[in-house]
Structure 1
Amino acid sequence: MHRFFITVLRGGIATAILFGLFGQLVVIPTTAADEVDGFPSYAPYAVPYTVVAIAGVACVQVVLAAAWKLHTMVELEAIFSPAAFRWVDTVIGACLVMLIVIMRGLLRKANDMKSELAVVV
């Protein structure tokens, strides 16, 4: 791969990781606090949803870091080594964690809405 494209790809990955870090430290907590200020009834949900959002961004950052490492292994022509499969397993694991967190949240929300749906039906 041409050196220019390698530099652009790594710059994009690094930028995405830094934006994610900014989102975890500033944007997500600030947004949660603003929502609680505007809607006080959401106060009990602020911390759990903030933690879930930060965990989701962390999963994306893990995938980006693994992509960086796999890209380095492509450069070194070691992409089919056992070490590369560990990074692929890391990507799969991060995606599964994110899926489990999302599905658990949806299940909890559906369970909370069960009584409201019973009244409608």
Structure 2
Amino acid sequence: MNRLAVLALRVLLVILFLGTLLTQAWYIPQFAANAAQAVPELAYLAVPYTIVCIVIVACVQAVFVAMWALLSMVRRGAIFTGRAFRWVDLIIVAGIVATLLTFAIEFHLLGIVDVGPPVLGVAMTGVVIAGAAFVSLMVVMRNLLRAATALQDELAEVV
């Protein structure tokens, strides 16, 4: 991978990471406060939902950190080593946690509390499906990395 592509991806990761920090520090708490003010009978949910949403965003941040580490490994030509699997596993676990937490919020909000328009259920279901697809894709990519690493190790023995 050429240096310009790695640099461009790193710049994008920094921008995205800063955006998620802003989301955690300002947008989520502000949204929760506005929602609690608009619907006072559900104000007791503001703090727990805020915490869960901040954790979901932290999962996204963990993916960004893992991507940064994997990019460094690609740049050094060391992607086909055992260390890469730890980062890919982190991406998978973060995706699972974020997806399950999103589903939990959807189930609680729409199934138990019974609040929100139908479009919210559609949107959140879409996010849960996208999260499941992302995790599935990462599992496939981990298997491809495992196969490529085995082939490289085998080739190194031959040469």
State the TM bucket, normalised to the shorter chain.
0.7 to 0.9
Question: What displacement does 1:41 show?
Answer: 1.7
Which residue of 1 is the match for residue 63 of structure 2? 63
TM-score (normalizing by structure 2): 0.66
The one-letter code sitting in structure 1 at the alignment partner of 2:35 is E
Distance in 1, matches of 2:105 and 2:25, equals 22
- Distance in 1 between residues matched to 2:80 and 2:4, nearest whole Å: 24
> Structure 2 unaligned runs (5+)?
115-159
Instruction: Report how far residue 98 of structure 1 moved.
Output: 1.0
After the TM superposition, which residues 1-121 of structure 1 pair with which residues of structure 2 at under 5 Å, given as runs? 1-109=1-109, 110-113=111-114
Equivalent-residue separation in structure 1 for 2:14 and 2:42 (angstroms) = 34
| Partner deviation per Cα, 1:6-33 (whole Å, 9 max, x = no partner) | 2111010011011101110111101111
Deviation at 1:92, TM superposition (A): 0.5
d(CA) in 2 for partners of 1:95 and 1:55?
12
Q: Per-residue displacement from partner, 1:69-119 (whole Å, max 9, x unpaired)?
A: 001101111111110000000000101111221222233342444xxxxxx
RMSD of aligned residue pairs (Cα, Å): 1.4
SS at match of 1:90: helix
Alignment length, in residue pairs?
113
Percent of residue pairs bearing the same amino acid type: 38
Contact kept? 2:63, 2:94, Cα under 8 Å: yes
Instruction: Pick 1 or 2: higher relative contact order, CA cutoff 8 A, min separation 6.
Output: 1
Question: In 2, Cα distance between the equivalents of 1:46 and 1:91?
Answer: 28
CA distance in 2, matches of 1:107, 1:38: 21
Three-state SS of the structure 1 residue aligned to 2:6 is helix
| Aligned twin of 2:149 | none
> Bigger CA drift: 43-52 or 32-41?
32-41
CA 1:23–1:68 in structure 2 vs 1: closer, same or farther (change >3 Å)?
same
TM-score normalised to the size of structure 1? Answer: 0.85
| Gapped regions of structure 1 (runs ≥ 5) | 114-121
